[in-house]
Amino acid sequence: MTAEPAAEAAFEPALDPALAAAIDRLAAAPALLVALDFDGTLAPEVDDPQAARALPEAHAALLALHALPATTVALVSGRSLESLAAVGEMPAKVPLVGSHGLEVRLGDGEVLPAATPQDRERVRLLRLRLEPLVDAVPGAWMEQKPAGFAVHTRIVEDAAAAASLIEAVRAEAAAQDAGLTVRDGKNVVEFAARDATKGDGLRVLRERLGQPAVLFAGDDVTDEDGLQALVDGDLGIKVGPAGTVAPHRVADPRAMARVLERLLDARRENPPTTR
Ligand SMILES: [Mg+2]
């Protein structure tokens, strides 16, 4: 299906009435947190992660919401804080949750530590133990993460050496510290002393902001943790076709931008009474 942008816009379906009603209810909340996933929710997916940007209409609606009283806008992403700050292009006072809830930068600039001193010591000890194994395999390298590190083997030419390195570091890690979170990826294994989800990130923001009503929307599996952290009076929206616990769904970032525009209009029309 191809269409000129103008024609496409003309045929854009109206918001689902149940969702529209839920947006209008949320807009009347005395305090509101608009916390959103970035990639695939505000920004269409692109090949180069650094090139991702929120749709202009979504970005404009977020800036306008941010300027309203008793209204906080936040981004909640799997990206590192640094990466999220770069692509998000939000004012400094907008809280950011990175690394799936592990890294939190609050609106006043305070950055909550992703790891305790004990966490860091566990990670340091494990890293010391694994380093000789990794150094012995040409092309293998370690990447520091907020509460752990990853061992990468993507550019190891000897596939058998790469496989046995992964096996060896997993065994060493298990022998030293069985309580670590271990995550396998393609040509990478990640060890972390602390695990977090987008739900944890949302709970931190909600607490710091004095229990506002929350809009959370996301497109990916990890967003389900955020959706599950919602309570009565909040609004959860799934973006795209994947399975979800969210009571509402929109098709894509363009439809999500229309949700934000409606929320903005409704909150402007009927501003919250400050308590
Ligand atoms: Mg996403």
Report the mean per-residue pLDDT for the chain.
93
Q: Can you give the length of the chain in residues? A: 275
- Of the two residues 46 and 275, the one the predictor is more confident about is 46
135 CA distance to ligand 1 centroid (A)?
35
85 and 218 fall within a common domain: yes
152 and 205 fall within a common domain: no
Tokens 């939000």 — which residue? 90
157 CA distance to ligand 1 centroid (A)?
32
Give the separation between CA 275 and CA 6, rounded to whole angstroms: 44
182 and 233 fall within a common domain: no
80 CA distance to ligand 1 centroid (A)?
13
Query: Please, are residues 43 and 52 in contact by the beta-carbon 8 Å criterion?
Result: yes
pLDDT band (50, 70, 90) for residue 115: confident
> What SS3 state is found at 122?
helix
Residue type, 241: P
pLDDT at 25 over 50: yes
Assess if residue 275 is contained within a domain: no
35 CA distance to ligand 1 centroid (A)?
12
pLDDT at 47: 87
Question: What are 241's two structure tokens?
Answer: 């076709």
The parent domain of residue 177 ranges over 117-192
Q: Give the rounded percent of residues in the chain with a pLDDT score beyond 70.
A: 95
pLDDT digits (tens, 9 = 90+) for 26-69: 999 999 999 999 999 999 999 888 999 999 999 999 999 999 99
Q: What is the mean pLDDT of residues 187-205?
A: 93
25 CA distance to ligand 1 centroid (A)?
25
Tokens 């000789």 — which residue? 132
pLDDT at 2 over 50: no
Report which of 125, 137, 192, 135 is spatially closest to residue 164, judged by C-alpha positions.
137
> What residues have a C-beta under 5 A from ligand 1, the ion?
37, 39-40, 219-220
pLDDT band (50, 70, 90) for residue 274: low
211 and 223 fall within a common domain: yes
Give the count of domains, the chain.
2
At 98, which CATH number?
3.40.50.1000
Q: What is the mean pLDDT of residues 123-142?
A: 96
Q: What is the mean pLDDT of residues 174-182?
A: 92
DSSP conformation letters of 133-147: HHHTSTT-EEEEETT
Tell which of 168, 192, 216 closes a domain.
Answer: 192
Tell which of 149, 176, 192 closes a domain.
Answer: 192
91 CA distance to ligand 1 centroid (A)?
21
Q: Which among 11-20, 107-116, 163-172 has the top mean pLDDT?
A: 163-172
Assess if residue 57 is contained within a domain: yes
Assess if residue 221 is contained within a domain: yes
221 CA distance to ligand 1 centroid (A)?
8
242 CA distance to ligand 1 centroid (A)?
12
94 CA distance to ligand 1 centroid (A)?
18
CA 77 to chain centre: 2
pLDDT at 14: 84
Tell which of 142, 162, 192 closes a domain.
Answer: 192
DSSP 187: T
108 and 123 fall within a common domain: no
27 and 162 fall within a common domain: no
Q: Give the rounded percent of residues in the chain with a pLDDT score beyond 90.
A: 82
pLDDT at 271: 80
270 CA distance to ligand 1 centroid (A)?
31
pLDDT band (50, 70, 90) for residue 275: very low
88 CA distance to ligand 1 centroid (A)?
13
End-to-end C-alpha distance for the chain, whole angstroms: 50
pLDDT band (50, 70, 90) for residue 129: very high
